[in-house]
Structure 1
Amino acid sequence: MEPDTKPLSAAGEVARPDQSTYIVEPTAKHSHTIILLHGLSSNGQKFGQELLETGKTSAGKTLPDLLPGARFIFPTAKRRRSSAFGRKKLTQWFDIARLPDPSYRKETQLQGLTESAVEIRKLLRQEIEVAGVPPTNIILGGLSQGCAMSLSVLLTLEYPLGGYFGMCGYLPFQQDIEDAINKEHGSDDGMDDDNPFAASDQDDQPEDPALRALNFERDLLCINTPQDTTAEQQQTASSTPIFLGHGDADEKKPYALGEDAARTMRAAGYSVEWKLYPGLGHWYKVPDEIDDIVQFIRNCAGWEMVMP
């Protein structure tokens, strides 16, 4: 049986591919959810349909075949003016000034990162609070800029997910996050009062690298922590297992960016599996990478699958 699909949009609007969240409903009782974010200038429906139809394992199975109880959610980013493409409007989670170098004029990314993080966190809450899916039965991830956006969201979460997988992506503000994690506790050496991305020099800066990463990312994306919450009471998503795959022939996002993201997430206390695919450009490798993702979901996220 083919899974049911439905595009969702704001009430009263006609759902178009570039304005909708594309959802593939489970063919069995809903027990798990996978939320995946598309890349620059794509949309949820285009990315979702292609991944779920052509992203087959070496046994010829798709993810819905193997996970009949999973709902697949592919949101679509807002249309934003692109600095990298002469201010042309594109669907993008955040603006970026130079595609192969996310650190160039990184301040252009902040507004979109902040706005998109609110939307993705809202999707997660809906699955947990409305659909009743426990966080351990949710996987987050994405492709390219969708990988970058979802990694940023993962760092802000106060609870772990079942897993995360990203393809040919990177981590926005990667070096700033790593600096915040590695900053000596209680030290203000090297601080720059004029740098809005510099790590805080407050005496209550936590020792836990996962908390340091969470505090930095929440400050960066303007996500508030309750005032009466102490550092010891704060929770993170650092027990979420991560899989990151990248092609060594990727010209749009050189694989060194993916390696840097893996290193920084490990420094923040996350368990990260990093896989480089020879000859692969800016996409995912079929069936090799799909096989690896399936193995990751079974062995690291611990989800049961309907295997042939």
Structure 2
Amino acid sequence: MSNRNFSTSSGSGNGSRTFEFGRTHVVRPKGKHQATIVWLHGIGDNGSSWSQLLESLPLSNIKWICPTAPTRPVALFGGFPCTAWFDVGDISDDAPIDLEGLDASAAHVANLLSTEPPNIKLGIGGFSNGAATALHSATCHVLGHYGNGNTYPINLSAIVSLSGWLPCSRTVKNQIERSRDGIRRAASLPLFLCHGRADDVVAYEHGENSARTLSSAGFQNLIFRSYNGLGHYTVPEETDEVCRWLTANLVLEGFRLN
């Protein structure tokens, strides 16, 4: 568990903002360390609450890193300041995108993963606003650069999105299709997206449309799961499926589902 505060610039040139990230919580693997996953919370939450849930999962070979987002004004809440990985005003395809905030958070995640041993598989997962940041990181990995053009340095092996959506969905497909390396990386990166049909915060259609966009952009190893009656939260059925999927795609040893 760490009390360090991280300061990350968006790196987009003159006038770029600096973001102060909060406390990072680490859940050490109880068995052989085979994978490290950064898990990103939703708006208004923090890394601590998810670290407690992740520690209870039967995935003894995964190290979980649970950072806390910067506190910033969020347009969706009338500018009220709360923890968020990037500013959100609307989730529609036509909504303005806080690309600077997205890139800064994706860079912070990449920095957290950059010191892991070379034989360890790396992944990113998240819930809601954190899930959107995880999917943005996936597109940065595939394209080889952040939205601002800076090189993306991490080789990812798995992405998990719970109750999230794909930011910049209108441009992702065209960008990947113009890149031979992007097409290759998209085909090989496993994605697992889950969404509740009763979600009243991030509407189900946003999750479904994001999965469809990613599939059409070349993400061939993508699974989308929907859950009847599930709102904007997670349930054991969902986390059990995440455990099975991570075990299969990261080739983890010793998985036992209670």
Common fold, TM-score beyond 0.5?
A: yes
1:32 aligns with 2:16: no
* Paired amino acid for 1:21: T
- The reply to whether residue 91 of structure 1 matches residue 94 of structure 2 is no
Report if aligned partners of 2:61, 2:252 keep a CA contact under 8 Å in 1: no
2: CA distance, partners of 1:172 / 1:305: 35
Q: Are 1:102 and 1:172, in contact at CA under 8 Å, matched by a contact in 2?
A: no
Residues 123, 133 of structure 1: alpha-carbon distance in 2 compared, 3 angstrom cutoff? farther
Match of 1:112 in 2: 101
Partner of 1:230: none
Q: Which residue of 2 aligns with 1:22?
A: 25
Secondary structure of residue in 2 paired with 1:292: helix
Partner secondary structure for residue 103 of structure 2: helix
**Partners of 1:104 and 1:82 in 2: CA distance:** 18
Q: Does 1:165 align with 2:157?
A: no
1:151 maps onto 2:135 in alignment: yes
Instruction: Select the residue among 152, 159, 182 that pairs with 1:211.
Output: 182
Distance 1:307 1:92, change over 3 A: same
Distance in 2 separating the partners of 1:30 and 1:304: 10
Shift of 1:267: 2.1
Pick from 112, 128, 153 the counterpart of residue 123 of structure 1.
Answer: 112
Q: Secondary structure at the match of 1:71?
A: strand
Cα distance change, pair 79–69 in 1 and its aligned pair in 2 (3 A): same
* Distance change in 2, residues 1:73/1:149 (3 Å): same
Cα deviation digits, residues 14-68 of structure 1 (max 9, x gap): xxxx82011111223433212110001111112222x236xxxxxxxx42xx332
| Equivalence for 1:202 | none
Q: Judging by fraction of residues, say which structure has more strand.
A: 2
Superposed displacement of residue 179, structure 1 = 4.5
TM-fit CA distance, 1:161: 2.7
1:46 aligns with 2:49: yes
Structural mapping, 1:1-308, within 5 Å: 6-10=1-5, 19-49=22-52, 51-52=53-54, 62-63=56-57, 66-98=58-90, 101-107=91-97, 109-127=98-116, 131-134=117-120, 137-157=121-141, 158=144, 160-181=155-176, 205-206=178-179, 208=180, 211=182, 236=185, 238-270=187-219, 271-286=221-236, 288-307=237-256
Unaligned segments of structure 1, at least 5 residues? 1-5, 12-17, 54-61, 183-204, 213-234
- Pair 1:117–1:139, CA change in 2 (3 A): closer
Root-mean-square deviation (CA), in Å? 2.3
Query: How far is 1:237 from its partner?
Result: 5.3
TM-score (norm 2): 0.80
CA deviation profile, 1:169-194 (whole Å, cap 9, x unmatched): 00001122234456xxxxxxxxxxxx
Change (3 A) 1:115 1:75: same
Tell me how far apart the structure 1 counterparts of residues 174 and 30 of structure 2 sit (CA, whole Å). Answer: 45
| 1:163 Cα deviation after fit | 1.7
- The whole-number CA distance in structure 2 between the counterparts of 1:20 and 1:301 is 27
Tell me the matched-pair count: 231
Letter of the structure 2 residue corresponding to residue 177 of structure 1: V
CA distance in 1, matches of 2:30, 2:75: 42
Note the alpha carbon deviations across 1:216-266, whole angstroms, 9 max, x for none. xxxxxxxxxxxxxxxxxxx73541211111000001001111111111221
Contact 1:174 1:264 in 2 (8 A): yes
Is the contact between residue 160 and residue 239 of structure 1 (CA under 8 Å) also seen in structure 2?
A: no
Change (3 A) 1:305 1:269: farther
TM-score by length of 1: 0.68
CA change 1:105–1:162 in 2 (3 A) is closer
Partner SS, residue 116 of structure 1: helix
| Distance in 2 of aligned mates of 1:160 and 1:302 | 16
Describe the shift of the 1:300–1:25 C-alpha distance in structure 2 as closer, same or farther (beyond 3 A). closer
1:141 to partner: Cα distance: 0.9
Over alpha carbons, which structure has the higher Rg?
1
Q: Distance in 2 between matches of 1:42 and 1:104?
A: 26
